[in-house]
Structure 1
Amino acid sequence: MKRGSFIKQLVLGSTIAMLSTGVLADAAKGQEYYLEYLKPLFGYNGQDFAGQHLKVEWKRYFKKDAKKFIKTYTKKHPEASEFLQSDKFLAIAPDLKDFAIKYAADSGELAACD
């Protein structure tokens, strides 16, 4: 292997490692946020929540400031309406999205949270 090729592979590997670590960190934050803020409002555990939809569906729910998520889950859980329309929810929505996608119905992963 040529030296230049080796260095490119090393840099690429490092970049991939950093990106995947960042994704996991966001999903972990999202799991914490779900347990702290949404579980008391929705009542189901994290796996039951995330497993409600496929990855592609979760991506749609969280597009454009999570408008579809807010609309759908406000109908399902009217008691959560105030929180779902708050600035706090919008701030944590990207991490919740990562959590939901990571443990979606078609992800093959199970969330270890109650």
Structure 2
Amino acid sequence: MKLLKVLVASSLLLGISTTSLFADAAKGQKAFIKFLKEPCGMDGAKFAVKHTQEEWRQIKSDGKFEDEIKRICPKYEIGSIKTNLLDNIIDFSIEFAKDSGNVPSC
């Protein structure tokens, strides 16, 4: 009985964490379309495949995401997107990186 409770709790926790991770990527996709598609001149799929998941994670941990956007999209103005939206866009980029096997619908 104890083992069953542990398994159910683990499954619930995993389900919640996976959903929240996907929610950030989904929000990031919407934010990319709204704020970056035009200045970048590309869709989110082409943007995300500029790096592998590990490269995007390193850019995120180094705090260089906005600099990388500017490098990829010269028309982008640094500071024009709120930090929470940038966090979602980086999660989107990680989720759909060139080595992820995932393809966004934007």
Q: TM-score under structure 1 normalisation? A: 0.84
Task: Determine the structure 2 residue equivalent to 1:35.
Answer: 33
Runs of 4+ in 1 over 4 A off after TM superposition: none
**Hey, what's the Cα distance between the residues in 2 that align with 1:72 and 1:18?**
31
Of Structure 1 and Structure 2, which has the larger fraction of its residues in helix? 1
Contact 1:27/1:98 (<8 A) preserved: yes
* Among candidates 67, 72, 92, match of residue 68 of structure 2: 72
One-letter code aligned to 1:72: E
CA RMSD of the aligned region, Å? 1.5
Contiguous gaps of at least 5 residues in structure 1: none
Contact 2:28/2:88 (<8 A) preserved: yes
For the residue of structure 2 that corresponds to 1:106, the secondary structure is coil
Contact 1:62/1:93 (<8 A) preserved: no
Task: Determine the structure 2 residue equivalent to 1:95.
Answer: 88
- 1:19 shift after superposition: 0.5
Aligned-pair identity in percent equals 27
One-letter code aligned to 1:69: F
One-letter code aligned to 2:48: A
Contact 2:65/2:90 (<8 A) preserved: no
- 1:76 shift after superposition: 4.0
Contact 1:31/1:99 (<8 A) preserved: yes
Task: Determine the structure 2 residue equivalent to 1:12.
Answer: 10
Q: State which structure, 1 or 2, has the greater radius of gyration over its C-alpha atoms.
A: 1
Contiguous gaps of at least 5 residues in structure 2: none
